[in-house]
Chains A and B, each alone.
Chain A
Amino acid sequence: MRASFVFSEVMTGLRRNVTMTVAMILTTSISLFLLGVGLLVVRMIDKTQVVYEDRVQVDVFLTNDISANDKNCQTDPCSKLRTDLENDPAVESVTYENRDAAYKRFKEIFAAQPELVKLARPDALPASFSVKLYEPDRSDVIIQTFSGRVGVDAVTDQRKYLDSLFQMFNGVRDLTFVIALIQAIAALLLISNTVQVSAFTRRTEVGIMRLVGATRWYTQLPFLLEAVVAGIIGAVLGVGLLVLVKMWFFDRLLGGLFQSGVIRPIEGIDILVTAPWLLLTAVGISAVTGYLTLRLYVRT
């Protein structure tokens, strides 16, 4: 097999068919870009979830009566609640936060919005137990056991709040995957069509090649490589688009969320890890599509 011969055939083919080639490259790159966004969101969700797995806890808010009168949780029912919580096998640790501490923390969290702090009075904030569980997904048990007990105002699982955040991320991820899939179908058809057109424009060459006894590889590899080369260019463009979108969209729009630590940022390394998969997908899909097209439509 003479590499230089095959290579020059590939280049001739791509140039001769330049409009189709450009369309094929653009569609492929957009499809792979969307797939990349989806994969990045998946990574972001995974990393963020890991962070919250450690932090997520159940809050047991206490009634106004306890909040006002039992600063150090020394009398029943507060002390009884604490020992019951501590003795529960699902519970890892329990921290008591009285009204003053809650107010202090409130001020810290909303330091940027002084008017909100001014509005809030310490006696509006309840004392609470922050309960950390061995297994965060067993929170239901705690909620059932302690809801409605004397001195308990409400039991909330922080997970519930996070779930809606993750649901949004999952929605974004699914959306990008769906659009990526539709784009991929378009890319697939374009690749197939380009290979057919390419084979048709070079039917004289191919006819002569077959006649003089060129093997299947020699006659078909150029077409196959055309598809693969276009796929690779598409993948490179897609990754480039991903980098731009990271800089201009993720970093700018979600920058605040990243800094506050609410969600984990998408970093350069994430793109670096995702890129080879996109490239591999591009090569795989274009090669398989090209091969099947040649098998089905082009006589050998």
Chain B
Amino acid sequence: MIRLEHVSKVYKTSTRPALEDVSVEIDKGEFVFLIGASGSGKSTFLRLLLREEVPTKGRVYVANFDVVRMARRRVPRLRQSIGCVFQDFRLLTNKTVAENVAFALEVIGKPRNTIRKVVPEVLELVGLEGKAARMPHELSGGEQQRVAIARAFVNRPLMLLADEPTGNLDPDTSQDIMLLLERINRTGTTVLMATHDHSIVDSMRRRVVELSLGQVVRDDSRGVYGVGR
């Protein structure tokens, strides 16, 4: 599903590589935590998968895409197979919950009938039935993140990338979000989550890939956050 082969990334503005000789393979349906301090390369890792960045060296494969060598015009196809969730939710404040979710389908040209059918379905899946007509500012942080997850998942992507999705949430709400991500994972969707949150990683007991100064320093199949320090 995801394979990085000896990937290095050096940004023009920096002398130190953001990633250095990283090789990771993630199978279909896995749930993986990507941990590490700020500046360890987690964000770069995720950006490479989306082809927001191109590696300086090495190869990146996502689903059936050779991410490094693919033509620019095929990048949208790659991104359609990846759902994304962020710490800051990134909702459109002038659109309702349902419109925010529908937006993701509208801009890739899905027919209106399809949109009308699948948007309520996915809102129900994330537990927001009955809040379709609310505006984002009327929702709690946890609810807003559910909208973001609904938007990321509505097109049934092969994988979900989550960049510190609980970073702005209190522990209880974070727990709810993790349950939701687990549920999505159980539908066969690969989930890759970058996080700082010890308690979540420790309680979930899933595969943990730890980055430090751009290198993979640990890859445990049932890891916890703190081991090895």
Contacts and interface: CB of A to CB of B under 8 A. Distances in A.
Given A210-B79, A212-B80, 7 more contacts: A2-B112, A208-B103, A209-B107, A212-B79, A213-B75, A213-B79, A218-B107
Nearest to B148: A208
26 contacts: A1-B109, A2-B106, A5-B107, A204-B90, A204-B92, A208-B90, A208-B92, A208-B103, A208-B104, A208-B151, A209-B107, A211-B50, A211-B84, A212-B84, A212-B104, A212-B108, A212-B151, A212-B155, A213-B77, A213-B78, A213-B80, A213-B81, A214-B76, A215-B108, A216-B76, A218-B108
A205 B106 CA distance: 12
Interface in B97-118: 103-104, 106-109, 112
Interface of B: 50, 73, 75-82, 84, 90, 92, 103-104, 106-109, 112, 151, 155
A2 B77 CA distance: 18
Nearest to A300: B72
A201 to B, nearest CB: 11
A222 to B, nearest CB: 10
Nearest to B105: A212
Nearest to A1: B109
Contact of A2 (B80, B82, B84, B109): B109
A215 B75 CA distance: 8
Interface string A249-266: 000000000000000000
A9 B155 CA distance: 22
Nearest to A205: B92
Interface of A: 1-2, 5, 204-205, 207-216, 218-219
A205 B155 CA distance: 17
B137 to A, nearest CB: 14
A215 B80 CA distance: 10
B81 to A, nearest CB: 8
A122 B112 CA distance: 90
A135 to B, nearest CB: 60
Contacts of B73: 215-216
Contacts of B92: 204-205, 208
B12 to A, nearest CB: 15
Nearest to A206: B107
A110 B77 CA distance: 82
A5 B102 CA distance: 11
Nearest to A218: B107
Contact of B106 (A5, A210, A216): A5
Contacts of A209: 107
Contacts of B155: 212
A1 B109 CA distance: 5
Contacts of B80: 212-213
